Amino acid sequence: MPPHPLNRPDHPETEAMASLAMTKDVEIQPYGLRGDLALPQPDMGLVLFAHGSGSGRLSPRNRHVAEGLQSAGLGTLLFDLLTEDESTDRYKVFDVPLLAGRLAAATEFIRSRSDAGDARIGYFGASTGAAAALVASTIVPDPIRAIVSRGGRPDLAGNRLVEVTAPTLLIVGGLDEGVIALNERAHARLEADKQIAIVPSAGHLFEEPGTLDQVILLARDWFVRHLGSAP
C-alpha cells in the first residue's frame, strides 16, 4: 500500500507542516492555565483544543493535528484545561461541566485579544474533551462556528446535545466499535449540521500509521469550510 500523501517527504503539505506557525506562550486567567497560541492568517478562523482524560497541551497527537490546521492558515490554541494539581484529581479529569467552563473561559480570553478577537472560533475535542467542546458551545455568548470530535465521547454532553448549533463533525476509528455506537447515538440527538466520519483501521487513539493524518485532512476541510473567509 502506498504511503498516505501527508507521510511523503516531498508532499507540499508535509513541507508546510514542517514550518510551524509562530506560537505565543499565554496564560488564561483566572485559572492560570498555560497555553500555546498560534494566530490565524487573515480571514481564517482559530481552533481551540479540548484534550481528553490524561492529556494536555503537550499531547503529541493534538499538536500534530494543530500543525496540520496551521498549514491551512488556521490559528490554534492548545492549552491545559486543568492546573498541574487539578490534573491528578480523577474526578476533575472526567468532570465535563468543569472542563466546558474552562474551555468557555479560554474562548473569552481569545475574544478579549486585539490580535485574535475577531476570528471565527472552532473547537477540536478528543475523548472527554469532545463533550466539553459541545457543552461549552452552548454557554459562550458568541456562536462557535464549527466543532470536530476525534475519538470523542459526545454522548457525555447529555441533554446539551440538542442545544448545539455549531456544525459538528464526529471522527471515529473503524476499530473503535463501542465508541462508534456512542457517537451514532449522539449524532442522532444533534440538531445542527452534522456528520460522522469513520477512519478505517484506526483504533481509539489513531496510533495506526496514516490514520491521524486522515483525521487532519477531515478536520482541516471541516474547519476551513466553516471558519474560512467564505463559509
Q: Is the pLDDT of residue 12 over 60?
A: no
SS3 78: strand
Q: pTM higher than 0.75 for the full model?
A: yes
DSSP conformation class of 47: E
| Best CATH choice for the domain 25-227 from the list 3.40.640.10, 3.30.70.1520, 2.40.110.10, 3.40.50.1820 | 3.40.50.1820
DSSP 39: P
Bridge partners of 66, per DSSP, are none
How would you classify residue 32: left for phi > 0, otherwise alpha for psi between -120 and 50, otherwise beta? left
Q: How confident is the model at residue 231 (pLDDT cuts 50, 70, 90)?
A: very low
**Dihedral (C-alpha) 156, 184, 171, 37: value to the nearest 10 degrees?**
-30
Q: How far apart are CA 148 and CA 184, in angstroms?
A: 15
- The answer for residues whose C-beta is within 8 angstroms of residue 98's C-beta and 6 or more apart is 92
Taking the C-alpha atoms of residue 65 and residue 77, their distance in angstroms, rounded to an integer, is 12
List 171's β-bridge partners, or say none: 150, 197
pLDDT for residue 226 is more than 50: yes
Task: Provide the grid cell at 147.
Answer: 466543532
Instruction: Taking each helix axis as running N to C, give the angle between helix 211-227 and helix 60-70, from 0 to 180 degrees, rounded to the nearest 10.
Output: 50
- Decide if 78 contacts 35 (C-beta within 8 A): yes
The cell for 59 is: 499531547
CB 168 within 8 A of CB 186: no
pLDDT tens, position by position, 148-158:
999 999 999 99
Set of cell numbers at residue 101: 467552563
Helices (H), the chain: 12-18, 60-70, 90-93, 96-111, 128-137, 177-189, 211-227
Residue 54: predicted pLDDT = 67
**Residue-by-residue DSSP string for 94-107:** T-HHHHHHHHHHHH
pLDDT one-digit tens code per residue, 153-186: 999 999 999 999 999 999 999 999 999 999 999 9
